[in-house]
Chain A
Amino acid sequence: MLAKTLLATTAALALSLGLAATASAQPTTVRIVSKDLLTTNPEDVAHIERIEQALAERGTEVDIEIVDLPSSGYADALGVMLLSGDIPDLIYFQGGDAKMVEQGILEDWRPWIEQTEYLKDGLYAHNVARLENYPYLLYPYPVRIPQPVIRREWLEQSGLEAPQSVDEYVALFTAIRDGDFDGNGQDDTYGITSADNTNELDAIFNQAFGVTSTWMKNEAGEWVHSRVTPQERDKLAFYASLREEGLYDPEYITTKWDIKEDKFYTGRAGVILGSSMEVIDIYGGKLRQVEPEAELVLLAPPEGPGGRGLAAVDVSKESRGFAMSVLSENKEAVVAILDFLASPEGQMMDRMGFEGEHYTRSGDTIEVTDKISTWYARFMATANWEAPVVWQSEAAVASLDQLAEYYTPDNAFVFPAEYAADLDATENVYRSWVYKFISGEAGMDQWDRYVSEWEAAGGARLNEYARGVLDE
């Protein structure tokens, strides 16, 4: 009897230990939702599989599950999904994150990043600043500031050097307007165009006119929004003069991004601005479809009466990026995935695609294939990893150098939710007056009227709140 009992006990123990062993061998499932990361894309699936495999080789068994969301209207669909209670472990936000933070759904990245081997060293300066101010979003990519490009042939045809000052930019725009470089027999090419608003122009002209940051001190030494400063007025007067001279596309406000590109490719605008090195390469690629020999040249921000540089970078928070759910039971695994992706091996995978397809290796020599242009990093492009081969265009690479040279952090900060209506209203007032000034519907002598309207729409409250924050 005793023998039978012992046998049964031993068998039960062995069985339970076996089950426990099986359970512990089960990989941790990490659910990821990200824009353009889809189970319907074989490249995405294969990429995720090799990440799992690489992590397994490092002793971390992870089963990464992609949560499919449509790329079109991604931010809206994500909000609805999260509201329904379906909260993946790693979430890519493109807006709408503030409401989640308000409800305490998103994890503070800082203590987690501190523990990583690679990720903490892979962040850019703007990432570090943004994480200090808003530690819920992580987006290890170069900062995005629009930078101007022109066809090399057109710049040469103008007979001018690449512009270095505001006056030289005006000279270049004038040469484009008068030179008929597109050869259609008409002087119908604008020097520059932008999409929807003047944000792209601001990227290169803000510093030149002394609009150095979002909040600036007035003559009385008080903080005021830069949009109501004399420097802003001078900048807008300059834009208005460009429009009046036929150098700036007067229909920028109804120009969407695709129309902006079309105007550039078809020779209706000489200079456009691209927001990142990838975008600049896309412009170059599309341009070569109509002009096979075309090559883009990156232009530098101009020296002006107020200085020189690219617009100050808002470091109050990431406008997009990855967040980790506080509800996740697999936070260590999430961080392990990101840390692996920040490692040299992970960056090679994430930024260069698949060997044999996007690049080939012969000994120590790596060469990219034509398909490299279709690959893009799904998760990050860290600051401290250098690709073994450079395949981007000269203009695209130069844009990164220029970003590093002219990087200036802004003093913008996140307003509390109760100021949302004021922000919305002042934005509308500013945008509509900018168009009025540029189009000539309002003269610059109406500047004071605009300032009064802006302050009445909530600007005065914003200024007051900013003084409280910035004077601290």
Chain B
Amino acid sequence: MVAGDEQRFDAALDDGNVPIDSRWDAFVRGLRRWWPYYVMMAPGIFFFVVFHYLPIWEAKIAFEQVRIIPPNIWVGWKHFETLFTSPVFWQVMANTLIISGMKIAFVFPVPILVALLLNEIRSGPLRKFIQSAIYLPHFLSWVVIAGIFIAALSPSGGVVNQITGFFGLAPRSYMTDTGAIRWVLVYSEMWRSGGWDSLLYLAAIIAIDQQLYDAAEMDGANRWQKIWYVTIPGIVPTIATLFILNAGMFLSADLNQVINLSNDVVRSTIDIVDTYVYRIGLQTGEYSLATAAGLFKAVLGMLLIVVAHNVSKRLTGKGVW
């Protein structure tokens, strides 16, 4: 490549208009130019390859009868048939869809609201204090959070029942109430992740051009109007991206959370695909059946991502690819 070509190539690289036949060259040149970033990215790539991509091949045991002494025996769709004819599995699927749906509806918007509210706090120290306080639950394990919630929701001496008792309401055992336990899952998830997840939205808000706010100010917009017409449109791409990624995780209602907050009374109400896979796969050793359930969930998750991507493209013009 002569010097002029190289300059044009660099310019094309910067513009992102690299011809298809030069993609390999572009990759190599990009690697040379941005190698420190690639080095920083390497551990992440390594992690995903080793723990997410390589195991895909082993998902074939969903179609096999696993033998500890090889070879495994090919059984085709047998495990899927077993799953789909089991009333327990459909109960578990229904629980998963209900709990995940509730989380998408009630938990997903919370970090957005938190970020918008935090952005409106003008006092620096107060904002930092609130941020620190609401980020804290993210670092607690579900074992600890379950302990906190069980204590707080205790019908005898729990703070929640003390408050409701102040208003004359009878004590209620939320942890053993099949009607309330899913809300406990939703609220505990909200409490744990609402603050921390707002970080991404806060970063997106900070990245919005200040001139847009200045222009809105000059046009006489009040704070509410600035939020509605500047801030929210500014973070829509972030919301769309995270919504699509969340859609992929739609059927993962959080194994750790459910296991720690479960008990004999509510187990059938909050038994989800992940707990089923854990129980069947790891505890009883039916690895093939558990893999079939997991694979089914993964395929549904992928379909949901595609659907969410297309819907987002149509509504906001933004997607993940």
Residue B10 CB within 8 A of the other chain: no
Cα distance A251–B69 in the bound complex, in angstroms? 47
B134 vs chain A, min Cβ distance (A): 26
> Separation in Å of the A367 CB from the closest CB of chain B?
41
Write out the residue numbers on chain A whose beta carbons fall within 8 Å of the beta carbon of B282. Answer: 75-76, 79-80, 96
Nearest CB of chain A from residue B120's CB, rounded to whole Å: 39
Closest CB in chain A relative to B179 CB, distance in Å: 12
Cross-chain contact B263 with A196 (CB below 8 angstroms): yes
The residue that A253 contacts in the complex, of B66, B176, B287, with Cβ under 8 A, is: B176
In this complex, which of B68, B267, B284 has the most chain A Cβ atoms within 10 angstroms of its Cβ? Answer: B68
B75-98 with Cβ < 8 A to chain A? 86, 88
Task: State which of A87, A424, A428, A435 has its C-beta within 8 Å of the C-beta of B68.
Answer: A87
Which residues does chain A contribute within 8 Å of B67, judged by CB atoms? Answer: 103
B17 near A: Cβ within 8 Å? no
B175: interface (CB < 8 Å): yes
Given the complex, which residues of A lie within 8 Å of B155, measured CB to CB?
A: 250-251
The A-contacting residues of B in range 138-162, CB under 8 angstroms, are 147, 150, 154-156
Q: Select B176's contact among A75, A420, A435, beta carbons within 8 Å.
A: A435
Q: Is A197 an interface residue (CB 8 A)?
A: yes
- The verdict on A196 contacting B285 (CB below 8 Å), with A83-B66, A83-B68 known, is no
Docked CA distance A259–B157 (Å): 15
In the complex, are the beta carbons of A250 and B156 less than 8 A apart? yes
Does A95 have its Cβ within 8 Å of any Cβ on chain B? yes
- A180 → chain B, closest Cβ, in Å? 17
Report yes or no: B265 in contact with A431, Cβ–Cβ below 8 A: yes
Q: Is A170 an interface residue (CB 8 A)?
A: no
**Mask for A84-123, Cβ within 8 A of B = 1, else 0?**
0101000000011011100111000000000000000000
Within the assembled complex, what's the spacing in Å between the Cα atoms of A436 and B178? 12
Q: How does the 8 Å CB contact mask read for A161-201 relative to B, with 1 for contact and 0 for none?
A: 00000000000000000000000000000000000110000
Provide the residues of chain A in CB contact with B70, threshold 8 Å. Answer: 85
Interface SS of chain A: helix
Q: Mark A423-436, 1 if CB is under 8 A from B, else 0.
A: 01100100110111
Known: A253-B265, A428-B267, A432-B264. A99 touches B176 (CB 8 A): no
Interface size class of A (residues with CB under 8 A): 35 or more
Beta-carbon contacts under 8 Å, B220-278 to A: 263-265, 267-268
A254 sits at the interface (CB 8 A): yes
Question: Which single residue of chain B is at the shortest CB-CB distance from A432?
Answer: B265
With beta carbons under 8 angstroms apart, the residue of A85, A100, A253, A439 that contacts B285 is: A100
Query: Which listed residue (B147, B264, B285) contacts A431, Cβ 8 A?
Result: B264
The answer to whether A327 and B69 have CB atoms under 8 Å apart is yes
Please give me the residue from chain B that is nearest to A326 by CB atom.
B69
**Interface residue B131 (Cβ < 8 Å from any Cβ of A):** no
Contacts of B285 in A (CB 8 A): 79, 83, 96, 98-100
Render A239-250 as a binary contact track against B, CB cut-off 8 A, 1 for contact. Answer: 000000000001
Once the chains are docked, how many angstroms separate the CA of A82 from the CA of B67?
Answer: 10
Residue A421 CB within 8 A of the other chain: yes
Chain A CB count within 10 A is highest, among B156, B265, B283, for B265
Shortest distance in angstroms between A23's beta carbon and chain B's nearest beta carbon? 28
The answer to whether B88 touches A96 (Cβ under 8 A) is no
**Binary contact track B42-80/A, C-beta < 8 Å → 1, others 0:** 000000000000000000000000111110000000000
Within 8 Å CB of A431, what residues of B? 264-265, 267
Interface string of B172-198 (1 = CB under 8 A from A): 010110000000000000000000000
Contacts of A103 in B (CB 8 A): 67-69
CB-based nearest A residue for B286: A99
A96 surroundings in chain B (CB, below 8 A): 282-285
Cα separation A431 to B262 with both chains bound (whole Å) = 13
**B-chain residues with CB within 8 Å of residue A83 when the two chains form the complex:** 66, 68, 285, 287
How many whole Å from A251's CB to the nearest CB in chain B?
A: 6
**Cβ-defined contact, B150 with A100, below 8 A:** no
Q: Is the CB of B176 within 8 A of A439?
A: yes
Q: Which of A79, A253, A425 lies in contact with B263, CB distance below 8 A? A: A253
Q: Which residues of A contact B286 (CB under 8 A)?
A: 99
B42 CB to closest chain A CB, in angstroms?
Answer: 27
Q: From B153, which residue of chain A is reached at the shortest CB distance?
A: A254
Please measure, in the bound complex, the distance between the C-alpha atom of A196 and the C-alpha atom of B266, giving whole angstroms. Answer: 12
Contacts of A436 in B (CB 8 A): 265
Q: A79, A96, A254 — which one has the most chain B CB atoms within 10 A of its CB? A: A254
- Nearest B residue to A428, CB-CB: B268
List of B residues within 8 angstroms of A105 by Cβ: 68-69
Residue in A100, A327, A439 whose beta carbon sits within 8 Å of that of B173 in the complex: A439
Tell me the bound Cα distance from A197 to B265 in angstroms: 10
| Residues of the B chain whose Cβ atoms lie less than 8 Å from the Cβ of A434 | 264
Q: Across the two chains, which residue of chain A brings its CB closest to B143?
A: A256
Q: For residue A200, give the distance in angstroms from its CB to the closest CB of chain B.
A: 14
CA distance A172 to B156 in the complex (A): 23
Q: Which residues A61-81 have CB closer than 8 A to chain B? A: 75-76, 79-80
Q: Given A421-B86, A425-B88, decide whether A251 and B66 contact each other with a Cβ distance below 8 A.
A: no
For A425, the chain B residues whose CB sits under 8 A away are 88
Known interface pairs A253-B176, A432-B268. Does A75 touch B283 (Cβ–Cβ under 8 Å)?
Answer: yes
User: Which residue of B has the minimal Cβ distance to A427?
Assistant: B264
Q: Nearest Cβ distance between residue B243 and chain A, in whole angstroms? A: 33
Tell which of A87, A100, A435 touches B264, judged by Cβ atoms closer than 8 Å.
A435
Please report the C-alpha to C-alpha distance between residue A98 and residue B175 in the assembled complex, in whole angstroms: 33
A445 to chain B, nearest CB (A): 20
Residue in contact with A76 in the complex, picked from B175, B265, B268, B283, CB distance below 8 Å: B283
Residues of B within 8 A of A421 (CB): 86, 88
Q: Does the CB pair B265–A435 fall under 8 Å?
A: yes
Q: How far is the CA of A388 from the CA of B268 in the complex (A)?
A: 51
Query: Complex: how many Å from CA A253 to CA B286?
Result: 28
For residue A221, give the distance in angstroms from its CB to the closest CB of chain B: 32
Give, as a whole number of angstroms, the nearest-CB distance from B223 to chain A: 44
Nearest CB of B to A329, in Å:
14
- Residue of A at shortest CB range from B266? A432
The minimal Cβ–Cβ distance linking A242 to chain B, given in whole angstroms, is 15
- What are 7 residue pairs bridging A and B, where the CB atoms are less than 8 Å apart in the complex? A76-B282, A83-B287, A95-B283, A98-B285, A197-B264, A428-B264, A435-B176
Pairs A-B, 8 closest by C-beta atoms: A99-B285, A431-B264, A76-B282, A435-B265, A254-B150, A254-B175, A253-B263, A432-B265
For the complex with contacts A253-B265, A259-B147, 7 further pairs of A-B residues with Cβ separation under 8 Å are: A83-B285, A103-B69, A104-B69, A254-B175, A421-B86, A432-B265, A436-B265
